Amino acid sequence: MTGEEREIWDRLVAEQPIPDVMASPLGWEAWQRVHADEASQIVVARDGDEPVALAALATVHRPLGALHATRLLPAGDLHWACSYPITGRDVTAGVRSLLSQLASKRDWDELLLGPMLAASPTFAALMTVGEELGMLPVVDARGSAPRTLIAGSWETYYAGRSANLRAEVARGERKLAKLGPIVLEEQRGGAGLDAALHAFFGVEATGWKRATGTAIACDPTLRALYTELAREAAACGRLRMFLLHAGDHVVAASYTIEHERGVFLLKTGYDDAYAKASPGYVLHKQLLARLWASGDVDYFDFMTGGGDHAGYKLRWANDTRAYMQVRLFRPHSLRGLALAGLVRLKRAVENHREHHA
């Protein structure tokens, strides 16, 4: 990313109507440094000389049935990707400039964007402008992201969690207390950052994540990404890493970043050796209670993802937001039209099966 691109990105993000940590250039620069060999491009759309939209995109060639399609998709991966266009205050104008610029090019067939908030003006603009430009937009549902709105009193919020969850937390606290005092450490940078990262990687790597090879510590590149990101976030005062200690043991940890009065959860884990004490739940209770007491943020965003292990998020959430994915196709192109037809046929078959299951 050039200095000019970073300046444009920072300005457009500051004008975004809905805050999203993944829209920040913070993690993108860390991702680029770690994945220097990955091809990507930053597309800047302008109205005259004024930048009005930006998208970080990668190009992938893939077969789709008998067709060989060239797909544009958000650059990055499951750990960090800015998955939709960044625009200024006039979202529709920014999206129109970006899509018009892409529509004039002949080096792609399908544009995949998302996940993004279904209620966001960006999603609405992509659908409306995409239709106007003949890009035949198709929507893929991607589920929802839970979050905890930090409003009212902590006591009222916590009393609103299920009785089973509160009982599980209380049992966990009693078991962990046998190891020693339960202390929540918050690491925001400085001399203790490397030790905190080491403890976080160790906790996150136990249990099923290590067994399936999905733990950060199992992949040197992934470990480098989260280390780079932590240092960059700490340098601008946005890192918030929480470590739950029980006596001399770190039993659970969460890696979060603060952005525009929200705290966004990137990764969390607990030491499987203490699984019977529900350390992850104890951590989240103490973490949320601290955010309530500090009063410096408005919500805790659990974000999308987590697969089969994401159910715990809903137990803490008092709000959920739907996320969507959008496919657009190169207009006035036989291959684009054919791809759009195949995708729409596939969606129709899936919908038919769901309604007749």
Residue 303 lies in a domain: no
Per-residue pLDDT averaged across 51-59, rounded?
95
**Could you tell me if 198 and 188 are in contact, meaning their C-beta atoms sit under 8 angstroms apart?**
no
Average pLDDT taken over every residue of the chain? 91
Q: What CATH number is attached to the domain comprising 94?
A: 3.40.630
How sure is the predictor about 208, in pLDDT bands with cuts at 50, 70 and 90? low
Instruction: Give pLDDT, residue 306.
Output: 62
Residue 277 lies in a domain: yes
How sure is the predictor about 342, in pLDDT bands with cuts at 50, 70 and 90? confident
DSSP H or E segment with residue 2: none
Residue 39 lies in a domain: yes
Q: Based on the domain organization, do 250 and 163 belong to the same domain? A: yes
> Per-residue pLDDT for 263 more than 70?
yes
Q: Is the pTM of this model over 0.85?
A: yes
Instruction: Give pLDDT, residue 26.
Output: 86
> Per-residue pLDDT for 66 more than 70?
no
Residue 316 lies in a domain: no
Q: What CATH number is attached to the domain comprising 179?
A: 3.40.630.30
Q: Based on the domain organization, do 137 and 158 belong to the same domain? A: no
Q: Based on the domain organization, do 121 and 160 belong to the same domain? A: no
Q: Based on the domain organization, do 121 and 165 belong to the same domain? A: no
> Number of H helices and number of E strands within the chain?
12, 12
Per-residue pLDDT averaged across 232-246, rounded?
96
Domain hosting 234: range is 152-297
Q: Based on the domain organization, do 22 and 66 belong to the same domain? A: yes
Q: Based on the domain organization, do 139 and 170 belong to the same domain? A: no
Q: Based on the domain organization, do 73 and 138 belong to the same domain? A: yes
Residue 315 lies in a domain: no
How sure is the predictor about 347, in pLDDT bands with cuts at 50, 70 and 90? confident
Q: Based on the domain organization, do 80 and 115 belong to the same domain? A: yes
How sure is the predictor about 309, in pLDDT bands with cuts at 50, 70 and 90? low
Residue 306 lies in a domain: no
**Domain closes at, from 297, 315, 344:** 297
> Per-residue pLDDT for 192 more than 80?
yes
Alpha helices in the chain (DSSP H): 3-15, 25-34, 91-103, 121-132, 154-159, 163-177, 193-204, 208-212, 220-235, 279-294, 311-316, 334-355
**Could you tell me if 301 and 320 are in contact, meaning their C-beta atoms sit under 8 angstroms apart?**
no
Instruction: Give pLDDT, residue 307.
Output: 61
Q: Based on the domain organization, do 13 and 122 belong to the same domain? A: yes
What is the number of domains present in the chain? 2
Residue 23 DSSP one-character state: G
